[in-house]
Chains A and B, each alone.
Chain A
Amino acid sequence: DVKVTQSSRYLVKRTGEKVFLECVQDMDHENMFWYRQDPGLGLRLIYFSYDVKMKEKGDIPEGYSVSREKKERFSLILESASTNQTSMYLCASSSRLGTGQATNEKLFFGSGTQLSVL
């Protein structure tokens, strides 16, 4: 069964701490994504990566950075955590796009990390 694994289900950190959220996929997918989910706001894209060592900003990259040193692993970094970064963080992956009906638009999500910044 295909899997996207996020290292922690719940995480509590202090304001100003450096926080690492880890995500690993076992499907040999090229694309990986980090979203945050907030009530009433849905999912918002933070960063994504379409290849090792490549990254692209999403809609809300401020306060975050990412690292992709290996194909299967995509890390989200909060350089100095703040209370407004308290949220559910979801990692997702997908294979490289095909074309037409063969296009592979399906995202596979991890179970999420609920981060609380106090």
Chain B
Amino acid sequence: AQSVAQPEDQVNVAEGNPLTVKCTYSVSGNPYLFWYVQYPNRGLQFLLKYITGDNLVKGSYGFEAEFNKSQTSFHLKKPSALVSDSALYFCAVRDRNSGGYQKVTFGTGTKLQVIP
């Protein structure tokens, strides 16, 4: 079975400060890892993914995430937060050995609030 944990329901950060949204995962094999963002009254949008290779992945809107296999983590980061980054962020995982069908498991989401 595969699972994702997002330990923080909400993260508050001042505009201009660095932000981190935490994610840990559990899979039986090797993971594919993702971050999605949901703005108010919108569907989810893809931010970035880790498939293989470099542990530091860069994505949309200046976000990046670091894959840490020993800690089974995939934290989302941004050097300088913007008010427009305020949204709901979801971490997701798929076990590479789960076959050809994209059964992706999502976390419970973390609400990011950037304070002006």
Contact = CB atoms under 8 A, between A and B. Distances in A.
Given A42-B90, A106-B46, A111-B43, A100 B102 contact: no
Contacts of B44: 43, 90, 92, 107, 109
Interface stretch (B12-20, B48-56, B67-75, B77-85): B48-56
Interface string B80-116: 0000000000100010000011111111110000000
A61 interface: no
Interface residues of A, number: 31
Count class of interface residues, chain B? 20 to 34
Given A42-B90, A90-B43, A90-B44, A107 B104 contact: yes
Interface of B: 4, 6, 9, 32, 34, 36, 41-46, 49, 51-53, 90, 94, 100-109
Given A43-B106, A56-B101, A110-B43, 5 more contacts: A42-B6, A45-B103, A107-B46, A109-B44, A109-B45
Interface of A: 4, 31, 33, 35, 40-45, 48, 50, 56, 58-59, 90, 92, 94, 96-97, 100-101, 103, 105-112
